[in-house]
Amino acid sequence: MQRPSGAQVLGFVASALVAAVWYIVHDLFGQTAGFRFWGVMLLLTAVFLTLRRTIPFAIGSTDLAPLQGWHKAYVLIPAYCIAICVIVWPHQVACAVNLKGYVCVP
């Protein structure tokens, strides 16, 4: 069994921290604010991936060719669109995708 690298441990800790903050936001401010927080995190991830030279691409445990240049748009354009829609219209998006446990009252 391989030991996890420092980057993997840091990534896991960062993910756990973001999940904890999301839980706190969701618990204190409600479903809409929690979903909007998720949209902000998606937007920050898209910005981070935009600034990278390549985006690693894998399906399952199979590593595929990394995305470079205009091929990054296959990932980034949908990420930006979804993030902006969730930030601007969190209630409508959550109801449109039938988010489990989300209360959709007209």
List pLDDT tens digits, range 46-93: 999 999 999 888 888 888 889 998 999 999 999 999 999 999 999 889
Q: Show the domain range for 25.
A: 6-96
**Residue 39 pLDDT level (bands cut at 50, 70, 90):** very high
pLDDT at 82: 95
Q: Is residue 103 part of a domain?
A: no
Q: What is the three-class DSSP state of 68? A: strand
Q: Is residue 54 part of a domain?
A: yes
Q: Is residue 34 part of a domain?
A: yes
Residue given tokens 């390549």 in the structure block: 54
Q: Is residue 1 part of a domain?
A: no
d(CA 103, CA 78): 26
- Overall number of domains in the chain: 1
Q: How many CB atoms lie within 10 A of CB 29?
A: 12
Q: Is residue 106 part of a domain?
A: no
With 80 as the cut, is the pLDDT of residue 105 above it? Answer: no
d(CA 81, CA 68): 20
pLDDT at 94: 87
